[in-house]
Structure 1
Amino acid sequence: MKEPFLEPILRRMRIGRVVDEVKSIQNCCLLDIGCGFNHRFLSFVEPYIEYGIGIDFKVHEVSYKKISTKKMTLDETLPFKECAFNAVTMLAVLEHIDKPRQIISEVYRVLKPEGKFILTVPGKLAKPVLEFLAFKVGVVNKNEIEDHKKYYDLYELEQLVSNIYGFEIVKHKHFQFGMNNFCVIKKTSTS
């Protein structure tokens, strides 16, 4: 399956934004939610992690020494034990989720204390640009853009996180010309 022209460039920009956060976590046990059909992010960070698990409804299931993937559809729960990971990533995934509050609560549950939830999600400025690039120019995946449920600004991300006691946004930046959010959320409590 050939990707539209801009997809790999945007993915590299997301990975570049996130990789240093993952590198900073000692003995990183990573869950990548929405890892994609070929788990590119997990493969890229493999040298910096203890192990990583990727989940996605379209992933090819694999099991290597440090990486495994599981084919599954996200609903309201994650099939992992409490406090199983010290990092969870969601790169360009939150905008596709029907029940973001429930999934973020599950992310909190599976994170160890002091663990990091690292995400990228398109901002509101991105909507008309992505739609133009997908539907008029064809350089981004039309199906992916059609599946977007919501575009987020910092206030909306804060509202999602503030409903979960013990979660705190510790870093937020815009990238890709201000159209994408990069966010690091820390689990500061076990309650």
Structure 2
Amino acid sequence: MKRLDAILRDIRIRQALPFIRPGDRLLDIGCFDQTLLNLVSGRVRSAMGVDPLAQDEARGNISIRRGTVPGELDLAAESFDCITMLAVLEHVPDAGAVARECARLLTPGGRVVITVPKPQVDHILALLTRLRLIDGMSLEEHHGYDIEQTTPVFEQAGFRLAKRRSFELGLNCLFVFERVALASAAPVRDDPRADGKSTSASAEKITQHSGA
């Protein structure tokens, strides 16, 4: 992973941290290098990471599973309080299937925390890859994902939109959904603080953890 890749990863993690609560049973889909899991392990009840490139392992309250969600993993219904997917949804061919599986895995009131880039980011990432400033991992897997379909896809799966805001100069977007029996909520606008930086202590730890 190149330095700029790590910086962009850390920015996404900072956006997600305030929505991971003490005592949560966390599932991180697309955990990759497990940075998020390592960061929050001291304050959550348990942290599971799933990634198709991972190797199965367990240490402390962290467990890693190789696979995809949905997929061949036998995960129990309502076994998580929070699910994170940071820069993952744009790589998934069937976002609806992912949303429905998240609804099955979460307890009522559980949260899905997602970051998704705006479509124009693909061109920027392609340029940065050519300049060898980033690795450009799995860029070819982007499925022309329309960020505006995120809310309807999750609402149809039984979620309500609790938070939406832009960051990285408006090029990336954070969504937080809550699982409810009937999804009906007024639209939530982008947070005008486009690059809203968390001031929580947990958010500050990421710099120390990653060396950014």
TM-score (norm 2): 0.80
Among candidates 30, 44, 52, match of residue 49 of structure 1: 44
> Residues of 2 paired with 1:87 and 1:7: CA distance?
25
Moved over 4 A (4+): 74-78
Contact 2:67 2:73 in 1 (8 A): no
Equivalent residue runs for 1:1-191 within 5 Å? 3-22=1-20, 25-36=21-32, 38-75=33-70, 79-134=74-129, 136-153=130-147, 155-164=148-157, 166-189=158-181
Using the aligned pairs only, state the percent identity: 27
**Residue segments in structure 1 that go unaligned for 5+ positions in a row:** none
SS class of match (2:101): helix
* Contact persistence 2:125–2:136 (CA under 8 A): no
Equivalent in the alignment of 2:205: none
SS in structure 2 at match of 1:142: coil
Instruction: Note the C-alpha offset of 1:143.
Output: 3.5
Residue 89 of structure 1: CA displacement? 0.5
Q: Does the Cα contact within 8 Å between 2:69 and 2:101 map onto a contact in 1?
A: no
2:39 & 2:134 partners in 1: Cα distance?
22
RMSD value over aligned CA atoms?
A: 1.8
Contact conserved, 1:113 with 1:190, CA < 8 A, in 2? Answer: no
The SS at the match of 1:115 is strand
Q: Count how many residue pairs are aligned between Structure 1 and Structure 2.
A: 183
CA distance in 1, matches of 2:18, 2:43: 10
Aligned partner letter, 2:18: D
Question: Structure 1 length as normaliser, TM-score?
Answer: 0.88
Q: CA deviation at 1:190?
A: 8.0
Q: Distance in 2 between matches of 1:145 and 1:97?
A: 12
